[in-house]
Chain A
Amino acid sequence: MELLHVGLAALGAGLAVVGAAIGVGKIGGSAMDAIARQPEASGKIQTAMIIAAALVEGVALFGVVAALLGVLTT
């Protein structure tokens, strides 16, 4: 029973990470495209990219923390 809880929590954390991976991948790819098109704006693009990536990553970390709490309280 406890193993099931831990397994489900791990699965949840994994799903959150998959979502974040897609998000960060798209952000990174688009930033690459943008920098390739306008290399002179790379500084601004990088800043915007890091902010967007951090916001996406934050959501994934919510999932991971929730999963961690699930594991630690069983």
Chain B
Amino acid sequence: MIAHKSLKIIVTFTLALALLPFNAFAKDDSQAEESKDEFNPTDMIMHHIGDSHGWHFFGEGDSSFTLPLPVILFTEEDGFVTFMSSEFHHDTEGHHVVEKDGMRFVNYHEDIYKLDAGAETVEFDEEHNVLNASKPWDFSITKNVAAMFLTVILMLIFFFGLAGHHKKSKNAPAGFNNILETLVLFVRDEIARPQIGDKKYMKFMPFLLTVFFFIWITNLLGLLPGAANVTGNIAVTVSLGLFTLALILINGNKDFWQHTLWMPGIPTFVKPILAVVEVLGLIIKPVALMIRLFANITAGHIIILSLIGLIFILESAGVAGISVPFALFITVLELLVAFLQAFIFTMLSALFIGMAVAEHEHH
């Protein structure tokens, strides 16, 4: 039975492989003239994993389906300026100038520049310093911010629903609320309690639950086609890591600081050296959290996009027979990674907080 199944798979793959060269040859002469704007996989991947000022779903240029998002800029001379990202008309090469309150803006590779008087487009010197424009402070609701708002709204709906149930009745919740409660109890019994300790875990539950569900829901939403790559943005993970660092620093007790800065029981001349190492370790912990989440999610997106990109690199529909099942496999794997990374982030945060608040027994 199993042999029969694997035989089927082998045959399918062989057929797909066999189709490959013929399709490539068939396309060779007919498409030679069309490929003047060559497919660039790096640009495609960077566009998909990067942030942008509009939420692009599909299509090209003016016929594309893009959700316009507000652009909020702050210039030191003239204060705040706002307009919708659709005013750029999908231009990211700095050609389309938007005029607002006497100031002129262009979007160059998703960076917004304010042009100097008389300039038509941004120009750069060899070291990529901008010559005829300045960069305003950008507080725009970008694609990533919009996706985060979506997660926040979902979380508010979910958990106000669950809390509302428990205000009204003392019975176990049914349906979706029951799933949520299982997950909340999972965070409490598998993460917070063993790592922080029975006495102190309650204080950190709000943070751990928020981080867990925020990362998990954004990861899952990020796997949808056309969705934003929020947890694969280093700025987002830096903020999450800083929250953990702040909690460690604020809640660290006397023992923790003693063991970090002037640890007992070792020769005095070693203490300064170890203190440096311990302080470095204090900073590296949240940095590792941040890099882990960022790199895992970004790597997953890059792999899926590369597999899909193979179809266009080799210019053959036959490749789809191989790369689409592989991409599907990786996507299913990413479902697991989405949960695992939320779990790891919460678990390690709880572990570090637990280390900071642990009571030591002095002998």
For residue B228, give the distance in angstroms from its CB to the closest CB of chain A. Answer: 20
- On whether the beta carbons of B291 and A50 are closer than 8 Å, the reply is no
B288 / chain A contacts, CB cutoff of 8 Å: 55, 58, 62
A51 CB contact (under 8 Å) in B294, B296, B351: B351
Q: Is B188 part of the binding interface, using a Cβ–Cβ cutoff of 8 Å?
A: no
B292 near A57 with CB under 8 A, answer yes
Among listed B163-171, B319-327, B340-348, interface-contacting one: B340-348
Task: Tell me the complex Cα distance, A64–B347, Å.
Answer: 23
Instruction: Decide: A58 near B299, CB < 8 A? Known: A47-B194, A50-B344, A51-B347.
Output: no
Q: Give A51 Cβ to nearest chain B Cβ, in Å.
A: 6
**How many residues of chain B have a CB within 8 Å of chain A?**
15
CA distance A64 to B296 in the complex (A): 10
Least distance between B231 CB and chain A CB atoms (Å): 14
Main secondary structure of the interface of B (DSSP, over half): helix
Find chain A residues with CB under 8 A from B190 CB.
Answer: 47
A54-B291 in contact given A47-B194, A61-B296 (Cβ < 8 Å): no
Q: Which of B194, B294, B340 contacts A65 (CB 8 A)?
A: B294
Question: Bound state CA distance, A65 and B294, in angstroms?
Answer: 9
Contact present for A64 and B348 (CB under 8 Å) = no
Number of interface residues of A (CB under 8 A): 11
Query: Which residues of A are found within 8 Å of B194, using beta-carbon distances?
Result: 47
A43-74 to B contact mask, C-beta < 8 Å, 1/0 = 00001001100110110011011000000000
Inter-chain contact B291/A62, CB cutoff 8 Å:
yes
In the docked arrangement, what's the CA distance between A50 and B191, Å? 12
A50 adjacent to B296 (CB under 8 Å): no
Q: How far is the CA of A54 from the CA of B343 in the complex (A)?
A: 11
A44, closest chain B residue (CB):
B194
Using CB atoms, name the residue of chain B closest to A62: B291
Report whether over half of chain A's contact residues are helix, strand or loop; otherwise say mixed: helix
Which residues of chain B from 171 to 217 have any CB-CB distance to chain A below 8 Å in the complex? 190, 194
Cα-based distance from A51 to B295 in the complex (angstroms): 17
Q: How far is the CA of A54 from the CA of B342 in the complex (A)?
A: 12
Assess whether B295 is in contact with A65, with CB atoms less than 8 Å apart.
Answer: yes
Residue numbers in A under 8 Å from B348 (CB-CB): 51, 54
Give the complex CA separation of A34 and B153 in angstroms: 43
Contacts of A55 in B (CB 8 A): 288
Q: Bound complex: CA of A55 vs CA of B347, how far in Å?
A: 12
The residue from B291, B340, B343 contacting A61, defined by CB atoms under 8 A apart: B291
A48 CB, nearest partner CB in chain B, Å = 10
CA of A61 to CA of B295 in the docked complex: distance in angstroms?
6
User: Which chain A residue has the least Cβ–Cβ distance from B289?
Assistant: A58
Residues facing A in B288-326 (CB within 8 A) are 288, 291-292, 294-296, 299
Residue of B at shortest CB range from A50? B344
B86 to chain A, nearest CB (A): 29
Please state if B295 and A50 are interface contacts (CB–CB under 8 Å): no
Complex: chain B residue closest to A54, CB-CB: B344
Q: Which A residues are in CB contact (< 8 Å) with B296?
A: 57, 61
Q: Compute how far the CA of A55 lies from the CA of B351 in the bound complex, rounded to whole angstroms.
A: 12
12 contacts between A and B (CB under 8 A): A47-B347, A50-B343, A51-B347, A54-B292, A54-B348, A57-B292, A58-B292, A61-B292, A61-B295, A62-B288, A64-B299, A65-B291
Known pairs A54-B348, A62-B288, A65-B291 / 7 extra A-B pairs, C-beta < 8 Å: A47-B194, A50-B343, A50-B344, A51-B344, A57-B292, A61-B292, A61-B296
